[in-house]
Amino acid sequence: MNNVLNGLKPERIYHYFEEICQIPRPSKKEEKIAAYIVEFGKKHNLETIVDKTGNIIIRKPATSGMEGLKSLVLQSHIDMVCEKNSDTEHNFDTDPIQPFIAGEWVKARGTTLGADDGIGVAAQLAILEATDIAHGPIECLFTVDEETGLSGAFGLDPTILKSTILLNLDSEDEGEIFIGCAGGIDTVITLPCEMQEGIANAKGYNVKVSGLKGGHSGDDINKGLGNANKILNRILWESSKLFGLKVASFNAGNLRNAIAREGEAIVAIPADKAGEFETFVAKFNDTVRAEYNITEPGLSVQALETEYPKRVMSDDTQVKLLNSLYACPHGVIAMSQSIANFVETSTNLAAVKTRKDHIEITTSQRSSVESEKYDVANMIASVFNLAGGKAVHGEGYPGWTPNPNSEILEISKAAYEKLFGKSPKVLAIHAGLECGLIGEKYPKMDMISYGPTIKGAHSPDERLNIDTVQKFWDLTIEILKNVPKA
């Protein structure tokens, strides 16, 4: 370990965070980080349980004089989103994350940092280790596979936790306390793909969209960010009308919960139209850069000459693909009527992948209104059904209904005001949190969610604000001291 975060405060959080960075932890592949946490619990002689889903619960008794307080759960997830820049060589199954300090931020070299939610895990370990922090009985819950299915929270035993208060350490804006979140569902479409012989007297091009920021499909969906799937499809759609472009393959985006940052399509253009096409791409690049000049200054659209594709999509397949992608909504569908400036319903056109005999299109929908979640999922399915695609909805997960009269909320607000001399914002979040599922299993659980400031989550631009980690730590310690009596 390089210890590049030495000297940052609070020391023990950054110590454990840097240790965690050395341990691969993709979603559904958390064996190494799970073994590390279990060994930690045993090393510190703490009751350590692994449930049938792989979630880990570590219990720590109350400190002297605090035995009469209510038991409290500290909760975070141990997996991370694995995204990297296309020019970065990194194997998330084996390679460590490489954190570094960039001014007021901690970042990673060419990859996601994993502060979502490694910083929550690190805080839990620091509290479990500490001998100088006053607290009542504590349960630390480390869940698996939050990022790709919430399967840890789905599989959580509804009888295993003893506490009635939960602090979810998985929010990303210091100074904000969350008391509700959106529910979500995935919609994956399979569109049949027929291929035919490529056109004669043609040139091959790789049409590339790059330089987008990407981001979290919940937190960042209202920030005017570009989507590589939509931009790439737009230039292909227009070029098919103008130049007789033929598509051989279309591949853009990756994860269902990330806004697509990069994409490319291998295409064929009639040789006598190639010059016009290249000029058009340059003008299109200028056009979309102007459209996104504030939010996406790094956006680039290029057509790079490549080997001529011998086989291309059939005319019918191409028409159905390009038209359905053009018609597919992406972004904010509805704003809340009861909470100012709060996204109520959205959809993310996450990924388009050309397979052997079909095209796979991955989308995800979110809403804080359960009926609207299903309505927008059906909207997406209907678009692709018209093109002959088959849509399959995932199991989905529930939202978390706000409780403005929460006891732990009042304690946390008072703690924040005492420490920092101002009131925190109390909000709901458009992202999905495990609190919705945990609350479904533990209806009497009193919950809040908070954390330090993390920007660019789910993208290689993910960065953790250094100073806010200290405030996050101080707030947690103050809350623990003021848990009510049982």
**HEC readout, the chain:** CCCCCCCCCCHHHHHHHHHHHCCCCECCCCHHHHHHHHHHHHHCCCEEEECCCCCEEEEECCCCCCCCECCEEEEEECCECCCECCCCCCCCCCCCCCEEEECCEEEECCECCCHHHHHHHHHHHHHHHCCCCCCCCEEEEEECCCCCCCHHHHCCCCCCCCCCEEEECCCCCCCEEEEEECEEEEEEEEEECCEEECCCCEEEEEEEEECCCCCECCCCCCCCCCCHHHHHHHHHHHHHHHHCCEEEEEEECCCCCECCCCEEEEEEEEHHHHHHHHHHHHHHHHHHHHHCCCCCCCCEEEEEEECCCCEEECHHHHHHHHHHHHHCCCEEEEECCCCCCCEEEEEEEEEEEECCCEEEEEEEEEECCHHHHHHHHHHHHHHHHCCCCEEEECCCECCECCCCCCHHHHHHHHHHHHHHCCCCEEEEECCCCCHHHHHHHCCCCEEEECCCCEECCCCCCCEEEHHHHHHHHHHHHHHHHCCCEC
Structural tokens at position 244: 């007789």
Half-sphere exposure of residue 14: CA atoms within 13 angstroms, side-chain side: 23
User: Residue 480 to residues 76, 84, 162, 224, 257: CA-CA distances in angstroms?
Assistant: 16, 37, 16, 39, 32
User: Residue 197 to residues 112, 127, 206, 277: CA-CA distances in angstroms?
Assistant: 40, 63, 18, 21
- Catalytically active residues are 79, 146
- CA torsion angle 174 373 260 463 (round to 10): 10
Measured between alpha carbons, how far is 269 from 184 in angstroms, rounded to an integer? 40
